[in-house]
A and B are shown apart, each in its own frame.
Chain A
Amino acid sequence: MAIGATLPGIEAGAHGSFWQRIARLGGGREGRPYVLFIVPALAVIAAVIIFPWFFTVFMSLHEWKITQGRTFVGLENYALLFGDERFQWALLRTLYYTALAVLAPLILGTLAALVFHRRFTLRGFLRGVFILPMMATPVAVALVWTMMFHPQLGVLNYLLSLVGIPPQLWVFDPGTVIPSLVLVETWQWTPLVMLIVLGGLAALPTEPYEAAQLDGASAWQTFWRITYPMVLPFLMVAAIIRTIDAVKAFDIIYVISQGGPGTSSETLNIFLYLQAFAFYNIGYASAVVVVFFALIIALSLVLLYVRQRSKWSP
């Protein structure tokens, strides 16, 4: 029965009531009346996702600066963008930062998961302690690390001095700023990878391990031939989450280095922020957003493809 017919006070006219006409869009009496129920969700999606996207693309086709008028420039912003050396460096830095900020937590998180998968005294308590960094607000974390990185007053150089290592410049040197920022990301997000991998380890069947034990497999062989392939789909989930997170990292970089020294930690997000909110180049910044979105989609598709390939059936 069509939805319109069940609604009180609605009678069918020559062309049917509004609700009946809408219901027909979903297939009429013999169609799919439930389609109506997704209309509110579609409206919300259109308002908060689709409209902003189209508007961003629209803005990117204009030269648009606060206090100045809007001029249609077609694809000029994109042409400028790809010729902008600062944008190119920001893109490369984003990829470099992302690679480090995904790999380091993946490796350390997997190791931590293997450790916490074993039974030992205080395991539950230590697991709780391990995931604490993940719960902290990134801005608060960044402020604490900013103090720790201070070359003269920071605790990191003090700790190094205790073992005879000379003071380091950390985020105050163009060469070490990105690895130092990744250190903060790694500290905060390794626990997330650990939790995902730990969930995967707990779900693994025990039979392959029993068989491996009977066959006399070493610990490394057991890990490499059994654990790793079976836990790989979980690792890929962690990799996808971390990649999306690392590509759009902003808070930690902005608070600690503001993209500096100079532009040596200026990733796409910082570049975009400066264009939009410091220079008020709304059109140009929108073009960066569009390119950035394409980059995230491309990376996600690659990772989803790899994840599909790594799936296993118990």
Chain B
Amino acid sequence: MKHRNHGLSGISRRSLLKAGAGVAGIAALRSAPALAQSGFDWKRFKGEHLEVSLTLGPRGELLQKYRKEFEELTGMTVGDEQVPEQQHRQKVAIEFSSGNTSFDVVTMSYHVQKQLYGRGKWLVDVRDMIKDPKLTNPEFDFADYAKGAIDYATQKDGRLDTLPLNLDYFVIYWNKELFAAKGVEYPKSFPEIIDAASKLNDPKAGIAGWIMRGLKNANLPPYLTFLLGYGVDSIDPDLTIHMDGPEAVAAAKIYQKLNKEYAPLGVTGFNWNECQSNFLLGKAAMWLDGIGFALPLEDPNKSKVVGKVGYGVIPPGPKAHRSPLFGDGIGISQSSKKKEAGWLYCQWATSKMMAQRHIEGAYGAPGRSSAYTAALASGNLKAPKAWLECMVETVKIARAGLPDIVAVTEFRDTYGVALTNMITGADPETELKKATEAFRPVLLKTEKS
């Protein structure tokens, strides 16, 4: 099977550091570049009003923070709303299926909604707009988007209906103080993760050796981290399911052991926020999750582990060295009457300037390659440099975490229940076989219809 790497090709730690050393002292780079300098007519839709529907989170926050700047640049007004992720997905799907959306521009997750949106052709294919010099700022620089990010955003039929807004890689946050106290080194393999977790686990002191999501549905990304290490994807493009094979069972046993023996009580109900609470209170030695949590962990008002957090790349598995990749994009509703105005918003939202701010503020990892070097050079990085270095290393081993299918939610739900049952003692092999039996007809029905 041909593997497609969705990493940000072309970015290396050395190139970053070189760029950083070269321009560190340049004051001009301390502020993000302004968009109005190019002579492009940003004001061609002056007086229009755009409605933007955003997923609640750091990226939505960033776009809202600088909204005024877009309004001043274009003379348009923007009504933007952030809706919690789950509710946003449902609200948007229902609006799209009604054929008339209340928004012109919308954010969506590649790992859950891409296929659904693609099948419904709910978003505008922006390839022609990109080529149109009247509509696209000459500084837009499409080549600056990492190839992996554009591959991830491209639909199966070749349509590009979103621009990559954020990429989320899984990493391990580790408490350096707890590691030092027990004389434990950062793990270099899956067995070493288990070994480190067992040494660091100290229930009497209220310290868990390991923490990751156990909540149904949310628990698939951490599990898939281990599965990818065994060199297989959950589902191949030809619809072969690997979720009940020997690799899947081996990965499930690791997931089960870590959760059952070294995680805090009640982990079956933990999503990322419960894991974060435990880790930032210093009650967990290692935490496996997305890369976007540096800010709260380094915030002295919220965290007891400020300055003690290590940002670790996922260790190699027995067959492959991988980190699951998830991502979000931004696109224009097919039913919008202001598609071209919406395109200006998408350009601005994913511009070099916004991408640089994205990293500087540790809002996550944008899809533009230049943002990494620019953020490092600007000296405005709010998160520790180690966070950015970890991100750059992880980019190289990133691979799409969830399968590229329509029924992603059913996939997450069915296998999510199986994983939760394992934490409470069920046999991994039996659970995975049962889940596969239940999911296979759903997959075949949705993919072949």
Contacts and interface: CB of A to CB of B under 8 A. Distances in A.
Contacts of B94: 66, 277
Contacts of B214: 261
Interface string B431-449: 0000000000000001001
B37 interface: no
A68 B93 CA distance: 13
B22 interface: no
Interface in A132-167: 150-153, 167
B386 interface: no
B47 interface: no
Interface string A259-282: 111110000000000100111100
A66 B116 contact: yes
Interface in B387-437: 406-407, 409-410, 413, 417, 420-421, 423-424
A263 B216 CA distance: 8
A67 interface: yes
A108 to B, nearest CB: 27
A259 B410 CA distance: 15
B420 A262 contact: yes
Interface residues of B, number: 36
A169 B90 contact: no
A263 B269 contact: no
Contact of B409 (A167, A169, A174, A279): A279
B265 A172 contact: yes
A interface, how many residues as a size bin?
20 to 34
Contacts of A153: 277-278, 281
B420 A152 contact: no
A300 interface: no
A278 B409 contact: yes
Given A152-B278, A258-B216, A260-B420, A68 B269 contact: no
A261 B265 contact: no
Nearest to A282: B97
A263 B417 contact: yes
B268 interface: yes
Given A277-B90, A279-B407, A262 B421 contact: yes
B59 interface: no
Contacts of B257: none
B265 A167 contact: yes
B85 to A, nearest CB: 12
A260 B213 CA distance: 13
B216 A262 contact: yes
Interface of B: 90, 93-94, 97, 116, 119-120, 206, 214-217, 264-270, 274, 277-278, 281, 283, 406-407, 409-410, 413, 417, 420-421, 423-424, 446, 449
9 contacts: A65-B449, A153-B277, A170-B266, A172-B268, A173-B268, A258-B215, A262-B216, A262-B420, A262-B421
Given A150-B274, A172-B270, 16 more contacts: A66-B116, A66-B120, A68-B449, A150-B277, A151-B265, A153-B278, A173-B268, A174-B268, A174-B424, A260-B215, A261-B423, A277-B90, A277-B94, A278-B413, A279-B407, A280-B97
